[in-house]
Chains A and B, each alone.
Chain A
Amino acid sequence: MERKPEDLELINQARKGDQQAFAGLVRRYESLVARTVIGMLGNVPEADDVGQEVFIRFYHAMDKFRGDAALGTYLVRIAINLSLNELKKRKKVVDITGWQGTDYQVEDMMAGEDEPGKADAHETVHKALETLEPKFRSVVVLRMIEGYDTKETAEILEIPLGTVLSRLTRAQKQLRKVLDNVTF
């Protein structure tokens, strides 16, 4: 992802207390963070909270941001980490209460498709993503939704390139299996 010179300018203004400059950054990167967070968590109310938290964390760490990495990449890294934490929290709730939350299982998804031809592409991608384990979901979100290349994906997730490739292959196989019966 490219570095935008205006980002540093806005960050400098925000560091000096210019709230509008920070609001400008939020608006600029809102959709990027939304794709990551909603891709990871699904379209649930917590996704909005996690999205807000991404920018709040950045606000508090702004003085440490040196601009070595693109701001987008920096925010996506925070978004992925917070989303993985949220998924861990959800898993704990499931372990304790047995409540499955909003994560769909492949069977649930197929059962809900009375008219596969009319399946909403957006929702279908959503549900297909939620059948993936978080570690597979994160590579799919970064590579296939955000459009990072495999090297950038590996850097963001701090895992080897080979691991990214193998997770992508496995994830794609599962997604194909899930989406096989669903027509966009």
Chain B
Amino acid sequence: MNTKAITELLHESFHRRLGEQEKTVLEKALRENADLRAQKAEIEKLMKDFGEVSFSFRPGFAERVMNRIPGKTGKIIEVDFSGQLYTFFKRLVLTGVAAIILLLLSIYLTHGSLSKESVFGVQPMSDDNLVSYLLYEEE
């Protein structure tokens, strides 16, 4: 077994149970190789140091969690503003469309057509009429 494979085996020996053959190979390598023994000591120290470390949250953690949890009624009132806005605009659009349809219908019934002139309420005007209209001066 080469050095790299032995080193891998050494690392793995801390995290899984080695087979009998692997154990024999590793023990032999450890007896013969001082560098490997040093590596083993380093890993042992690493495992110990990391195992001893303790991290904790700031005091009052449980209270902070409980403050974020709904009360005994168990209900959080969520205001869905976007939903209300959507409903409002939907009603507005439907009312608008209905008004436009009614307007067009009444125009059609009154003028008998839905031409531009009837919709905008403008009478057709010839060029002569327009010129005389513009030149008209009130006395």
Contacts and interface: CB of A to CB of B under 8 A. Distances in A.
Interface of A: 17, 19, 22-23, 26-27, 30-31, 34-35, 37-39, 43, 47-48, 51-52, 55-56, 59, 121-122, 125, 140, 143-145, 147, 149-150, 164-165, 168-169, 172-173, 175-176, 179, 184
Shortest beta-carbon contacts, A-B, top 7: A38-B55, A144-B50, A169-B11, A26-B62, A55-B65, A125-B53, A34-B57
Contact of A165 (B12, B42, B53, B69): B12
6 contacts: A22-B66, A48-B64, A144-B50, A165-B16, A172-B11, A172-B14
A48 B61 CA distance: 8
A144 B51 contact: yes
B47 A35 contact: no
Interface of B: 8, 11-12, 14-16, 39, 42-43, 46-47, 49-58, 61-62, 64-66, 68-69, 71-72, 74
A31 B69 contact: no
Most A CB within 10 A of own CB, among B12, B56, B69, B74: B69
A94 B30 CA distance: 44
Contacts of B51: 144-145, 147
Contacts of A164: 15
B8 A169 contact: yes
Contacts of A34: 55-57, 61
Contacts of A122: 53
The binding surface of chain A is classed by DSSP as helix
Contact of A30 (B49, B61, B69): B61
B46 A39 contact: no
B47 to A, nearest CB: 6
Contacts of B16: 150, 165
